[in-house]
Amino acid sequence: MAKGSCLLRSRQSYFDLWTWLAVLAVSGLAIHYCQVRLDEYISARQTKTAGGILPNPESLRLVSLGYDQILADVYWLDFIQYFGDTKARLADHYGRCYDYLSLVTALDPHFIQAYWFASFAVGSEQKRPDLASKIISRGLAVNQDNWYLPYIAGVNEFINAKDDKAAAKYYRMAAKFPGSPPWLGRQAQILDTDLPRLFKEIRTWHTVYASNPDGLVRNTARNKLIDLWRYVYRHTSDANSKKEVTRQLGELGAKP
């Protein structure tokens, strides 16, 4: 009887081993198939996006195998290429910026740089601060411990929507976050005043420039500051003012 039980267990173990191997083989084939499909999808994306087709995030997740951030990087690079083609963007008026950034932030909602470009590209170049706010608001809901999101929302409201009061509200919100810089509260007070808008704009872009080590965001703020300081230089006749503007431009690596 013991011998029979031993034989039964041996056969059961043998069956379990082959069952496990079969499941493993099927799983491997399934993963390989999905990876092939994902590779095909990514390799074809450039042609599709060039033709005006951007998928929705739900469709992408069906083939992403959980690698949503990788696909977010893929479409982010596509967006940078699209955004940087200035001549073509003058023709289509940056019309696809919202679609790109909405897709990127849906795939990777913690990618802060994309929210900056929601303000820069969608709010400013596409001239749709309302759509920029839609993207940034989604980011606020997901990144509730990051002061950058209400700060970006404030920049969008001030620079693009021209709503100083709404911008000040977001700045005060950002100032309450642990680790947020002390100038946020002061900037909120400045936005609430009747100071000239040009002064507020210079101050706003300076804080964006100073608080961003990242090349793309920092370079965008630098270019805006150069334009603003050059405007001041052209419209002032005071020698001391021109000297100060020249100094400010020099710190940005530019001349009047």
Amino acid code (one letter) for 177? F
Q: What is the pLDDT of residue 5?
A: 47
CB atoms within 10 A of CB 230: 15
d(CA 216, CA 204): 17
Question: What are the residue ranges spanned by the domains of the chain?
Answer: 61-251
Q: What is the pLDDT of residue 52?
A: 62
Report the greatest alpha carbon distance in the chain: 110
Q: Is 52 left (phi over 0), alpha (psi -120 to 50) or beta?
A: left
161 DSSP assignment: S
Q: What is the pLDDT of residue 64?
A: 67
pLDDT, tens only, 187-226: 999 999 999 999 999 999 999 999 988 788 999 999 999 9
Which CATH class, in words, describes the domain spanning 61-251? mainly alpha
pLDDT, tens only, 38-91: 445 544 444 354 456 788 887 777 776 778 888 899 999 999 999 989 899 989
